[in-house]
Structure 1
Amino acid sequence: MKGRDLRLLPVALCAWASALLCVFMPHLSATVMLVALGSAVVAGRAEWIRRRTRRGTARVWQRRLRAAAGMVVVCLAAVAGPALTVLIVSPERAQVAALEGATVDVVVEVLSNPSPGSDGRLWADAHAVAAARPGHGIQETSAPVRLGIAADAVEGGLAPGTQIRLRAEAKRAGPGERAVVVLFGQGSAVVADRGGFIPEQADRVRMALIERALRLPAPGAALLPGLAVGDTRAVDEKLNDAMLASGLSHLTAVSGSNCAIVTAAAFGVVALLGGGRTLRIIVAAVSLAGFVVLVTPEPSVIRAAAMAGVAMLSLLLGRPRAGFAVLLLAVTVLLIADPWLASTAGFALSAVATGALIILAPPVAHGLSRWMPYPLALVLAVPLAAQLACGPIIALFADHQSLIGVVANLLAAPAAPIATVIGLLSCVTMFLPWLADLLAATAWLPSAWIATTAQVTAELPLATVAVSAGVLPAVGIALLSAALGWLLIRSPEAYPRWLRAAALLIVAVATAGVTGGALVRGPLAPLSRPSDWSIAACDIGQGDAVIVRSAGQIALIDTGPDPATLRTCLESLGITRVDLLVLTHFDLDHGGGMEALRGRVDTVLHGPPTGSSDTRALENLRDAGATLHEAARGQTGQLGDASWRVLWPRAPEPVFPAGNDASVVWEISGGGVPRMLLLGDLSGEAQRLMQRVSAVRGPYVIVKVAHHGSADQDADLYAEAAARLAIFTVGADNSYGHPREQTLSMLEATGAVIARTDLQGQILISQTDEGLSIWTERELAPSSE
């Protein structure tokens, strides 16, 4: 690539670095802006003095120094831009941030299509319009928020552009997030405004496509609206997991590729009709704008449209190299306008994928043409270039990598444009029902192909591999992507043998490492662990998932937040079925992984549901063959040769509402299982009351510490338990400070040995004649206590 094509690269990188710094540490924004502007003035003044006093300097060096000084000034301006934006919006964000911890009446405007969360709520990006706290008047606000409400809270459904009035609990969003607070809706919401004629009609078109699609056979029916207009409401959990595992989930998100397909289709139709280049570009731009309105102009869609517009315009004009400079300019402008884009994976992936389409895809296609016809090579080069470029970024955030993503994309991606274009034509012709039905049925064929590809590839052995997200895995995948790209692009004669050997070595080592790691974590995982364990604490992040085994029967206490991580834990222990599932309560970190057990559990013992979403989750388990029982103090039962008992909550008149303090407290002992007490998420107050009304009598051998080791504990309860081993089920990355130092000190004072899933990974415990044998995933040498 020529140097002039990269001139804006340092400018974009400076804007990105400044945006990251300012959104994570907004209190530094004024300093960053003043330092950058001051430095720009100094650099400009120094260049002016140099030009006034230059003598004897060669003309070529004069040009270079002038260009360098200009670049420094532009880079400093790019640093100041995001900082200025953060400063301007900080007062409004601070006003909304003051709502943290309060229950407020708010009016919000929905900005994105709602998506179901694993907690049963519908989640959407929104903009706060007004808010009122008890004791305060109504105040106008203007800041982004994240909204979560019950699926049936809004009559007539929720769509972008809708303004609703509701009561919600406000919690502060994480650092670097665009949303200032997260609003947890309570009860029903009142629709204040549907957003006007255009949003209503766009939603009507989307719903018509969904209704048409669902009359067609599964699994292609559910996927069609997602491929055409990015609406995934009809996609069930199983198909969604398959799309994620196979690396095809990007096909159902409104991304740059969807926008590019629409632009290219419009451009091609006008070309076939004999229109000139100017007319083609105008029609393509209008079509892209209409597509954005149809799929809803949420921020991610506008961003994708901007990226796709840059890429397609440069390609259609026959100047792909110039397109890279335009892309860098677009990235810089977007970061100045919205600095919070810098911290989102979607923006990074969109920018990098667009750059790969412009820069990497053509040489990859040329390299592949050594073994296949060029048109086929060009088709394969697009997903392959995107995968090579985006892999390192994905590794920064994702804890699972798809090993069959490239293959699945090569098989399925060619069908996506067909489904998108024909699906959109079905939307356009909705006023001719017979034609719209015919087009939807035609689009179903490629949609079914993609869904089937996802399901088949996701079930292949070693389809995904668990990899810790972070910088080191990203660096490793970057090296692998560079080696693969080099081997594909360059012919063997074009570079020295040692360089080719180095690239092949990197690919071979990475392949061997990934395959070996996948085998050890997958099919061979049970062989790498002790076989005589009776208690296992899964490493599933911030959440609970504890397994008890006696005489071949399995009890699982809570499911953690994510079906995929729970499934990984069960597979590592060779568990295919659960005899008893104890759901202590329904918070996401305890019940979010339930879908992984659908059809694989016999009996469910659960705490009190908190709402309709919890009831539906239980009904799903029941419909798949499970028997449901609500837990109450005094219930007993058998697990193999072990006996268990429920100590809390009290029924039929519970003391606390459903949630943490109504968690099921469960004890088990006998049959090879050391006496164990599991305390759910009880607070200190609930622990004290339980002590007064229940027979919590020590000593226990093991205690699962309440609420991941929060500070709100009752020391007398743990003194009574007198456990020899205290297990903390906690995630390495949590913003709560769990486990708290005072809780750790309290347990250590009782003489308990501390075991933590955040530090030691999966924990397996066996009872032997000598005592407890403890095996931990990150301390491979077993120890005895």
Structure 2
Amino acid sequence: MTRFLGRRDRMRGVARTPDGRDRAEGVARILDRTPRLALPALASWATALVLLGCPAPAGAVTAVLAAAAALVTAAGARVLRAHPAWRNTALAVLGCVAAVAGTVAFRVHAVGTGPVAELVRSGAPTGIEAVLTGDPRELPRRAGPYRGESFAVPARVESVETARGRVALRAPVMLLTTGGEWRPLLPSQRVAVRGRFVHADSAELLAAVVLVRGPLRVLGAPSWEQRVAGALRSGLREAAAVLPPDERGLLPGLVAGDVSGMDRQVTADFKAAGLSHLTAVSGANLAIVAGAAIALARVAGLPLPARAVLAAVAMLSFAVVARPSPSVLRALVMGLVAVVALGTGRSRDGVAALSATVLGLILFDPVLARSYGFALSVCATGGILLLAPRWRDRLATRLPRWAAEAVAVPAAAQAAVTPVLVLMAGQLEPVAIPANLLAGPAVAPATLIGFLAALVAPVQMDLARLLVRPAGLATGWIIAVAGRAAGLPLAVIPWPGGVPGLVALAVTVPAAVLVLRHRRPRLVVLALAAGAAVAVAVAGPAVSRWPPERWLLVACDVGQGDALLVAAGPGRAVVVDAGPDPVSTDRCLRAMGIRQVPLVILTHPHLDHIGGLDGVLRGREVGAVVVTPHGGSGPGRLRLSGDLARRRIPEWAARPGVSWTFGPSRLTVIGPPEGAPAAGGGEETAVNNASVVVHVSWAAGSALLSGDAETEAQAELLRRGLPRADVLKVPHHGSARGDPGFLAATGARAALISVGAGNDYGHPAPATLARLGHLGVRVYRTDLSGDLAVVAGKDGLAIVVRGRGPPP
């Protein structure tokens, strides 16, 4: 009888285990316990992720095949009498795949056809009327001339000029433009510009990228909700102006995701400490606001329906302050997910709501499938819903429940987002868990008080300024935590990026779990980890001491740019050029322990030499700034002078023969000569030739710091008499535009080249390296060896390298 039943069950597609339990029934029970939308949501996400990079026919074929498979599955399930859980799950997955594939195919086809596609093919400039769909986002400035601000502005083109006349349409584009007049524009404003259409990445579902040329004409005011949001955000920025600079920039970021005023060093510290999510509007922000509203309603004794209404009003108000954009609306939905999970007390309900959110957003905006921000948000929410309760319960056996929950929530969120971070950045952030644990208590008061100040500011600015002061204390604590965490050894651990990194993580994590489950292996692993941490924190600095003793000159590794430090006594240095990036420059000065800068010499006003000036000024006393007298009157020079005037820092023009002595160093200006700068080349070459050239002498030797002087300026320096030097800072990052006699005339034995790895300028030029090699000059490059230090040795000067590897 048992054998007969087994045969009958196998005929129905069901197998029995020896103890009589039905495997298929067991799997069905698992599916019953799984939120029904989890698998369809993941399948939809994967479908959009793959098809976004494919042509429209691929999406159409996928949609047809998935729909056909759904029909076959429905018919076959009836014939085979499959379990309802199998049937429903399969049908839901196939149906959602078909819907998403069809949506992606339609969107890809829409952006790849029509008048915009014709304009892309023609490449001719044309008149455009467009409606902004997002905030203008300032782009990082490239190395080179100090130009004005440039922006990327998401927009929807609504009419274009063609050979057939003006054509109306609706096509999503990205405007790339320059000019500070774009900064105050708000989403929903209508503008008229002239530009050229070029191809866009098909995965972004943009019809084109528009390279804007010519003036901007604003044709209309923003919508009422965008005006309200703009007024609230600007009011918060104005109220926060009473805070110190770092807190002033962070508070709007915590409250409304407005990071326009954040210091770049604070941003870098947040990234290294795993706190960047705090400055992006997320479901957590909305959950904080909703939770505060519910708590107030409960204290007031309001009934449950009134509490729900108050929470909804609070979240909607917060969404207005944070700007009703797609990302904020996404955060609003995520906040509702958190509220559902909190209100029901059941993680399964929360996962179901999260799955529905993912499914709905992917259908509404398939581009989110390739958004790292979306992936981080979903993974963090999922980790909190699925992992945090279990970890909290286990920790509660040894810790108070509140402490267990405080540890479990950030740990679960970090564990869940780690695969995304590996895929995105190729690194692990072990410091993120303690950093989030320490910063977490300050987030809620800063968010709530800042939100209240934003609502009050348009009505009573004095009261708003009073409110932001305690919020400033909270943000100050978060900034301090981020700075300390970012400076810890092993704050960020390098890890293979992309798919290899994911595979390595998938192998490492299960192995680590198996090892840590047993007491003896766990103790061995912990002892090894502790030993490695001690070696890195203690033995590492002892072996490779930085800053090196008796250092005289340091070429900072700041990428494609120059930033040099000349010793001026304990904790002091003269800075010659500031590099392109404030974060890298400040990091170098901090590593060298520089607290005072008696003099800054900016050789010429190109971004790769003055863009990092804010990093020099950050928290340091600066005596004066020396600039070239031939820097012109362009926007870069005017902006630099304006910045120095606002900071009340004296600005001096360099004059040949002027000398300063600071500590062990004597600096003498030898160029540019009086009168007009050396002629030759275009405008950029003229500015390079106007570089301030400085000769530095010490008891142990000397160095020549030549800025970006090119062929003509080098020849002029030779004609007037060039002092010899032991160390040469090679002009213009090793460019080929140089006078061969100049290198020989310096008599240098070592050459420093400050250059960015993989730069697209071809620096340093092979011809320049060959000339230096022919002269017997030892070359040291920041792109190969990191920071370079000139130190006083027994027999003169020596070079000490730090960072990426051995010198060439």
Q: TM-score, normalised by structure 2?
A: 0.72
Counterpart-to-counterpart distance in 1, 2:394 and 2:674: 66
Counterpart-to-counterpart distance in 1, 2:282 and 2:706: 45
Structure 1 runs not aligned, ≥5 long:
487-494
Residue in 2 aligned with 1:605? 626
User: Residues 494-643 of structure 1 correspond to what in structure 2 (within 5 A)?
Assistant: 498-499=517-518, 513=532, 516-517=535-536, 527=545, 531=549, 536-547=554-565, 554-578=573-597, 580-586=599-605, 588-598=607-617, 599-606=620-627, 608=631, 615=638, 627-630=650-653, 637=659, 640-641=665-666, 643=668
User: Residues 722-761 of structure 1 correspond to what in structure 2 (within 5 A)?
Assistant: 729-732=754-757, 737-739=760-762, 743-744=765-766, 747-748=769-770, 751=773, 755-761=780-786
Counterpart-to-counterpart distance in 1, 2:551 and 2:72: 72
Counterpart-to-counterpart distance in 2, 1:645 and 1:297: 57
User: Residues 397-412 of structure 1 correspond to what in structure 2 (within 5 A)?
Assistant: 405-412=432-439
Residue in 2 aligned with 1:33? 59
Which among 117, 122, 126 is matched to residue 154 of structure 2? 126
Residue in 1 aligned with 2:16? none
Residue in 2 aligned with 1:5? 34
CA contact (8 A) 1:160 1:296 kept: no
In the alignment, is residue 646 of structure 1 matched against residue 671 of structure 2? Answer: yes
Q: Give 3-state SS (helix, strand or coil) of 1:207's partner.
A: helix
Change (3 A) 1:67 1:418: closer
Q: Give 3-state SS (helix, strand or coil) of 2:281's partner.
A: coil
User: Residues 236-385 of structure 1 correspond to what in structure 2 (within 5 A)?
Assistant: 248=275, 250-268=277-295, 281=308, 284-385=311-412
Measured after TM superposition, the shift of residue 2 of structure 1 is 5.4
Question: Residue type matched to 1:581 in 2?
Answer: V
Change (3 A) 1:164 1:777: same
Once structures 1 and 2 are overlaid, which stretch shifts more, 306-315 or 697-706? 697-706
Measured after TM superposition, the shift of residue 165 of structure 1 is 5.4
Measured after TM superposition, the shift of residue 195 of structure 1 is 0.4
User: Residues 104-183 of structure 1 correspond to what in structure 2 (within 5 A)?
Assistant: 109=132, 111-112=134-135, 121=149, 125-127=153-155, 129=157, 142-145=171-174, 153=181, 157-164=184-191, 181=209
Measured after TM superposition, the shift of residue 305 of structure 1 is 1.9
CA contact (8 A) 1:416 1:447 kept: no
Counterpart-to-counterpart distance in 1, 2:602 and 2:201: 28
Counterpart-to-counterpart distance in 2, 1:247 and 1:452: 15
Change (3 A) 1:542 1:251: same
In the alignment, is residue 455 of structure 1 matched against residue 488 of structure 2? Answer: no
CA contact (8 A) 1:400 1:464 kept: no
CA contact (8 A) 2:554 2:788 kept: yes
Residue in 1 aligned with 2:447? 420
Residue in 1 aligned with 2:12? none
Measured after TM superposition, the shift of residue 296 of structure 1 is 0.9
Q: Over residues 588-646 of structure 1, what are the superposed CA-to-partner deviations in whole Å (9 max), with x where a residue is unaligned? A: 543332222113544433353776676555565577675433457x5664672565533
Q: Over residues 740-784 of structure 1, what are the superposed CA-to-partner deviations in whole Å (9 max), with x where a residue is unaligned? A: 79x33664376467654344433445698999965544675567x
Counterpart-to-counterpart distance in 2, 1:661 and 1:301: 48
User: Residues 63-102 of structure 1 correspond to what in structure 2 (within 5 A)?
Assistant: 71=93, 78=100, 82=104, 85-91=107-113
Q: Give 3-state SS (helix, strand or coil) of 1:527's partner.
A: coil
| Percentage of identical aligned residues | 28
Question: Residue type matched to 2:743 in 1?
Answer: A
Counterpart-to-counterpart distance in 2, 1:41 and 1:649: 79
Counterpart-to-counterpart distance in 1, 2:201 and 2:543: 35
Measured after TM superposition, the shift of residue 261 of structure 1 is 1.9
CA contact (8 A) 2:426 2:497 kept: no
CA contact (8 A) 2:556 2:782 kept: yes
Change (3 A) 1:768 1:501: same
CA contact (8 A) 1:544 1:589 kept: yes
Work out which of the two has the higher radius of gyration on C-alpha atoms and give 1 or 2. Answer: 2
Q: Give 3-state SS (helix, strand or coil) of 2:559's partner.
A: coil
CA contact (8 A) 2:605 2:636 kept: no
Once structures 1 and 2 are overlaid, which stretch shifts more, 346-355 or 639-648? 639-648
Counterpart-to-counterpart distance in 1, 2:163 and 2:602: 38
Q: Give 3-state SS (helix, strand or coil) of 1:351's partner.
A: helix
CA contact (8 A) 1:540 1:561 kept: yes
Change (3 A) 1:252 1:45: closer
Question: Residue type matched to 2:627 in 1?
Answer: H
Q: Over residues 430-485 of structure 1, what are the superposed CA-to-partner deviations in whole Å (9 max), with x where a residue is unaligned? A: 6864xx86676456435423424533763589447564765369779969996999
Question: Residue type matched to 1:304 in 2?
Answer: A
Question: Residue type matched to 2:589 in 1?
Answer: L
Q: Give 3-state SS (helix, strand or coil) of 1:127's partner.
A: strand
Question: Residue type matched to 1:545 in 2?
Answer: A
Counterpart-to-counterpart distance in 1, 2:802 and 2:623: 29
Q: Give 3-state SS (helix, strand or coil) of 1:645's partner.
A: strand
Change (3 A) 1:204 1:674: same
CA contact (8 A) 1:649 1:665 kept: no
Change (3 A) 1:454 1:97: farther
Q: Give 3-state SS (helix, strand or coil) of 2:625's partner.
A: strand
Structure 2 runs not aligned, ≥5 long:
1-28
User: Residues 431-442 of structure 1 correspond to what in structure 2 (within 5 A)?
Assistant: 433=460, 441=466
Q: Over residues 699-758 of structure 1, what are the superposed CA-to-partner deviations in whole Å (9 max), with x where a residue is unaligned? A: 998776676678xx43x63576368877654444x6x645379x3366437646765434
The number of equivalent residue pairs is 750
Q: Give 3-state SS (helix, strand or coil) of 2:219's partner.
A: strand
In the alignment, is residue 717 of structure 1 matched against residue 732 of structure 2? Answer: no
Counterpart-to-counterpart distance in 1, 2:423 and 2:750: 34
Counterpart-to-counterpart distance in 1, 2:234 and 2:151: 19
Counterpart-to-counterpart distance in 1, 2:334 and 2:754: 42
Change (3 A) 1:49 1:778: farther
CA contact (8 A) 1:230 1:254 kept: yes
Measured after TM superposition, the shift of residue 324 of structure 1 is 2.0
Change (3 A) 1:363 1:127: same
Change (3 A) 1:465 1:77: same
Change (3 A) 1:46 1:226: closer
Counterpart-to-counterpart distance in 1, 2:90 and 2:796: 71
Counterpart-to-counterpart distance in 2, 1:622 and 1:738: 33
CA contact (8 A) 2:623 2:649 kept: yes
Measured after TM superposition, the shift of residue 545 of structure 1 is 2.8
Residue in 2 aligned with 1:206? 233
Change (3 A) 1:597 1:302: same
Counterpart-to-counterpart distance in 2, 1:338 and 1:38: 21
Q: Over residues 28-77 of structure 1, what are the superposed CA-to-partner deviations in whole Å (9 max), with x where a residue is unaligned? A: 4347536644764785687589779x8xx8x6699859966874675576
